[in-house]
C-alpha cells in the first residue's frame, strides 16, 4: 500500500500504540503528533512514537491522513472542524462510541473523507509511555457506516488495519454502540464499582489487599482506566449503558437473594448459566 504522511491527534495509549505499528509496518512516510498536553507531546517525540509534534492546523495541512485518538466528546467537537480544513485527506477516528461522531458530520460536504472506526484493544494505562508494540495484532476493528465513506478513503483505511494485523468487521453505528455497551462499557463500570466497594471495605479491613488474588486483580484491573476517556463514553452511550447496567443489577440481585435465602439450587443454576459463556470465550 502507498505510504502516507500521517498525523495522529492524541499520542497516548491508543494513538501511540498505533504510531508504533504504522512505523514498523512501513505504512507512514512521516508521523506527526498533535497533543494538547505539552508533556505528552514531548514524551511522544522522546519515545520516538512520532517524528515530531506540530500544532493541529499545520499537521492537517502537511498530512495525507489524520487519525483522531482522543476522547469521544472531543471527537464530536473537533471532527467537523477538521473536515472544514482538509482538502482530500483521509480522517479516521478510533473512538469507543460512534453514533454521535457520525451524526455530527452527516451533512458535512466532506463527510466522505471520514472513516469511523473502533479498534477493539486497550489497557488500563494512559499516556505515551503506555504505548505497546504489536498492540493491534489479531484484534478486531469495527468500521461503522462504511457506505458513507469515499471508496478510496475506506479502501486505504481497511488496508492499513489489515497490514497491522487486525481483522475487519463492518457494522452500523447504532448496532456498534449497543454491542460495545455489552462487551466493553459494562466491564469498566463493574470494575470501577468493585474497586469502590473494596476501597470502602478497606477502611475496616486493611488485610483485604494482602489477600487479593490474581482473580481479583484481573477483575478490578480496568478500574485504573482514565476517567477523561470513560466519562464521555458512558455519557455518549447513555441509553445502551443504562440498559445493560439495569440488567446487570438484576443479575446481582438474583445472586444476593439466592445467598440470603440459602437457595442453593437457584445459586447453582445461576453459576451454571454463567458457565455457558465458554461457548463465546474459550
Query: What domains are defined for the chain?
Result: 4-171 (3.40.50.720), 176-279 (1.10.3660.10)
> What is the pairing mode between strands 65-68 and 90-93?
parallel
Listed in sequence order, the residues at least 6 apart from 157 whose beta carbon sits closer than 8 Å to its beta carbon are 90, 92, 115, 117, 143, 149
Reported pTM? 0.90
Q: How far apart are the first and last CA of the chain?
A: 35
Q: Is the pLDDT reported for residue 148 higher than 90?
A: yes
Listed in sequence order, the residues at least 6 apart from 243 whose beta carbon sits closer than 8 Å to its beta carbon are 181
Q: Is the pLDDT reported for residue 281 higher than 80?
A: no
Q: What is the mean pLDDT of residues 49-57?
A: 97
pLDDT attached to residue 16: 98
**Bridge partners of 67?**
8, 92
pLDDT attached to residue 206: 63
Q: Give the closest residue to 91 by CA, choosing from 63, 120, 62.
A: 63
pLDDT digits (tens, 9 = 90+) for 93-132: 999 999 999 999 999 999 999 999 999 999 999 999 999 9
Calculate the alpha carbon distances from 216 to 50, 111, 114, 210, 249 in Å: 36, 45, 41, 11, 20
Amino acid at each position: 500500500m502507498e505510504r502516507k504522511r500521517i498525523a495522529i491527534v492524541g499520542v497516548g495509549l491508543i494513538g501511540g500504540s498505533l504510531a508504533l505499528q504504522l512505523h514498523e509496518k512501513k505504512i507512514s512516510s512521516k508521523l506527526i503528533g498533535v497533543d494538547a498536553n505539552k508533556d505528552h507531546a514531548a514524551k511522544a517525540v522522546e519515545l520516538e512514537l512520532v517524528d515530531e509534534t506540530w500544532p493541529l492546523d499545520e499537521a492537517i495541512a502537511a498530512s495525507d491522513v489524520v487519525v483522531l485518538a482522543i476522547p469521544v466528546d472531543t471527537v464530536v467537537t473537533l471532527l467537523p472542524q477538521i473536515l472544514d480544513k482538509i482538502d482530500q485527506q483521509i480522517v479516521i477516528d478510533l473512538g469507543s462510541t460512534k453514533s454521535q461522531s457520525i451524526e455530527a458530520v452527516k451533512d458535512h460536504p466532506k463527510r466522505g473523507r471520514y472513516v469511523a472506526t473502533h479498534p477493539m484493544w486497550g489497557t488500563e494505562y494512559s499516556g505515551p509511555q503506555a504505548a505497546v508494540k504489536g498492540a493491534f495484532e489479531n484484534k478486531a476493528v469495527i468500521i461503522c457506516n462504511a457506505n458513507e465513506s469515499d471508496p478510496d478513503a475506506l479502501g486505504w483505511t481497511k488496508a492499513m488495519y489489515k497490514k497491522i494485523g487486525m481483522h475487519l468487521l463492518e457494522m452500523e453505528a447504532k448496532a456498534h454502540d449497543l454491542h460495545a455497551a455489552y462487551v466493553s462499557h459494562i466491564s469498566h463500570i463493574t470494575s470501577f464499582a468493585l474497586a469502590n466497594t473494596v476501597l470502602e471495605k478497606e477502611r475496616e479491613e486493611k488485610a483485604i489487599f494482602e489477600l487479593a488474588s490474581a482473580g481479583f486483580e484481573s477483575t478490578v484491573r480496568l478500574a485504573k482506566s482514565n476517567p477523561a476517556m470513560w466519562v464521555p463514553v458512558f455519557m455518549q452511550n447513555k441509553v445502551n449503558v443504562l440498559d445493560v447496567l439495569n440488567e446487570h443489577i438484576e443479575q446481582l440481585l438474583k445472586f444476593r437473594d439466592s445467598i440470603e435465602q440459602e437457595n442453593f439450587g437457584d445459586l447453582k443454576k445461576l453459576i451454571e448459566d454463567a458457565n455457558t459463556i465458554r461457548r463465546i470465550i474459550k
